[in-house]
Structure 1
Amino acid sequence: MSESRFSLYVSILALVTFLVIAFNGMNNKPLQQSNLEEMVLNQPISFINAKSIPLPDKIDFAGEQVPLDIPDVKERLDKELHINSYWHNNTIFLLKRANRWFPVIEPILEEYGIPDDFKYLALIESGLENVTSYAGAVGFWQILKATGKELGLEINREVDERYHPVLSTIAACKYLKKSYEKFGSWTLVAASYNRGMRGMQNALDHQKADNYYDLMLNEETSRYVFRVLAIKQIVESPTDFGLEIDDTHLYPPYSYRYDTLRNSTDLVEYALSQNTNYKTLKLYNPWLIDDELSIRINNFYVISLPKQKDSLKK
């Protein structure tokens, strides 16, 4: 018996023993000695039906072809396609959230002249959740505090616009546009979003290379573009990768109405006055950090609220 089969056998044996004891206990009968080993070994062992995934003949990022004729490039894409295809619980929720937030992100990318494929950066950066990284980067686009301020975002104890789905996307677009002016390659722009512009330029100079696919990089940046490519393929054709998502299971976009605040406000009371609650106000405005909002003279904030028919107040 192999070690793995023996381990499985022991686990099943323990479970069967527990069930037999429990069953006999419920029926107030003494436990009968039985050949549990034979019972377990006669049980069929089932496995997940996993298959290798065929690679596309060609694939591009933002109109730039991926050189799949280079063996390691092909294998790196192969790896990310398999990881994300069989990481079902994660990938399914990426698809669900993409349905909610891509309609917000896509027109902003278009307005700033950023290729549509960059929406997949936000998807792999944060899963379109307002998470915080170990380095302190936050929001959909995982923006650091210093970078956010440089890009014009307000960040203080009451407001952090890195969490604002619209304003953070605009900030990301500014960074991406500046990066493209530097590198002239959208693939390098994507990689620089992970490594930083200076880090990418240093790697290009040191290795005397002129493109992402010829660089030897740290593992995270080396995988980064391929993760984007893999998610792009899966989101665009989920059934090709064994993911059957019922359209009714996708998260619908929020339906907004807007209000302008010009005076300092207790946000709990404000939410109630708008026929909603503080929790819902925070869901629609994750950039509001505190439950009080101080507003200086001649300043204002635009607040997103659910349309009356979609109010979450019960």
Structure 2
Amino acid sequence: MTDSRFALYISIASLVTFLIVAFFRKEGKTEIHKPVAEQMQPIAFKNAKTIPIPEKIDLAGENVPLEIDDVKERLDKELHINSYWHNNTIFLFKRANRWFPVIEPILAEYGIPDDFKYLALIESGLENVDSYAGAAGFWQILKSTGREYGLEINRDVDQRYDPVLSTRAACKYLKRSYAKFEDWTLVAASYNRGMRGMQNALDNQKVDNFYDLMLNDETSRYVFRILAIKQIFESPESYGLDIVKEHLYEPFVYRYDTVRNSIDWVDYAKAQGTTYKTLRIYNPWIQDDDIRIGRDDYYVMSLPATN
């Protein structure tokens, strides 16, 4: 092969290679080098829209001053969070259907406004949970506070987990707080911050109401979380929630038995025709497998009603 023919073949091969590369660059690689943000397709969120703020709202009959910009915005934030936090809010409705019939008459008995049932709802979701600070039960009561208001707390028993007795203890605190502040909104805030802490904030900032206070984020949000849940519970359809009553948890139906002697709970449950697990569900204040009962002491046990 002559040098001239070899050079011609090389030229033709180079041209073909160039055309092939150019073709594939045009047809196949252009999109690959686009920025990631340009490649992503927009996601269509159905029913995601801004939520209107009510023209008027109150807590325990006390008006919320929505004409104050930051007050309106703080309520706005909590309404959106709880409206679009669907799984959590739906389960609040489910548990409330079981436990509000227990809580509401106790609040009424102590003269506490019915709106305070929502305080328990935001404290625990009406679950017997424990906090990092050592608070426990529906009302998130500390050991020292529980004992102060008459709850038994020891190795065998922790009545902070008893829905009835813990509600009574919370009512005693709320009643005492109202005697101090004569303002239910401050009472609600004091449940989070403490009566002394709330009074110190009022004195230091020289104001006389919750909505004029500059507080830490937790306490600042606290009242607005109650307000938002109240608003959503009173009109769930307005906040995009389709609550089917048949899907809610039914209240427990009880029968009662009095225990006066030390006992093994597993054996007791079996003798009552139930299981230890069910006994603990119906009596969450039980803390151990057995209990030591003094000569003059006794416990009233809640058991599943029998037909």
Give the TM-score band, short-chain normalised: 0.7 to 0.9
Greater radius of gyration (CA): 2
Distance 2:300 2:188 in 1: 31
Look up the match of 1:279: 277
Distance 2:258 2:38 in 1: 65
Look up the match of 2:249: 251
1:241-282 Cα offsets, whole Å, 9 max, x none, are 000011110000000010000011110010011111000000
Look up the match of 1:161: 159
Look up the match of 2:187: 189
Specify the code of the residue in structure 2 equivalent to 1:196: G
Q: Percent identity?
A: 74
Q: 1:229 aligns with which of 207, 220, 227?
A: 227
1:53-76 Cα offsets, whole Å, 9 max, x none, are 111110000000000010100010
Distance 1:119 1:4 in 2: 47
Cα deviation, residue 308, structure 1: 1.5
SS of the aligned residue for 2:151 comes to coil
Question: How high is the TM-score relative to the length of structure 2?
Answer: 0.87
1:120-178 Cα offsets, whole Å, 9 max, x none, are 00000000000000101000000000110101100000000000000000000000000
Distance 1:236 1:45 in 2: 32
Look up the match of 2:84: 86
Q: Map residues 138-157 of structure 1 onto 2, 5 A cutoff.
A: 138-157=136-155
The structure-2 alpha-carbon separation of the partners of 1:159 and 1:140, relative to structure 1 and needing over 3 Å to count, comes to same
SS of the aligned residue for 1:308 comes to coil
Cα deviation, residue 2, structure 1: 6.4
Cα deviation, residue 45, structure 1: 4.2
SS of the aligned residue for 1:305 comes to strand
- Structure 1 gaps of 5+ residues are 10-40, 310-314
Matched, 1:295 2:293: yes
- Structure 2 gaps of 5+ residues are 1-33
Specify the code of the residue in structure 1 equivalent to 2:79: L
Look up the match of 1:129: 127
Q: 1:96 aligns with which of 94, 97, 101?
A: 94
Q: Map residues 191-210 of structure 1 onto 2, 5 A cutoff.
A: 191-210=189-208
Specify the code of the residue in structure 2 equivalent to 1:235: F
The structure-2 alpha-carbon separation of the partners of 1:263 and 1:53, relative to structure 1 and needing over 3 Å to count, comes to same
Cα deviation, residue 298, structure 1: 1.1
Distance 2:97 2:82 in 1: 18
Cα deviation, residue 48, structure 1: 3.4
The structure-2 alpha-carbon separation of the partners of 1:149 and 1:3, relative to structure 1 and needing over 3 Å to count, comes to farther
Question: How high is the TM-score relative to the length of structure 1?
Answer: 0.85
Look up the match of 1:180: 178
Distance 2:171 2:38 in 1: 53
- Number of residue pairs the alignment of both structures matches: 274
SS of the aligned residue for 1:254 comes to coil
Distance 2:99 2:131 in 1: 20
Look up the match of 1:29: none
Look up the match of 1:12: none
Distance 2:158 2:290 in 1: 13
Look up the match of 1:219: 217
Look up the match of 1:15: none
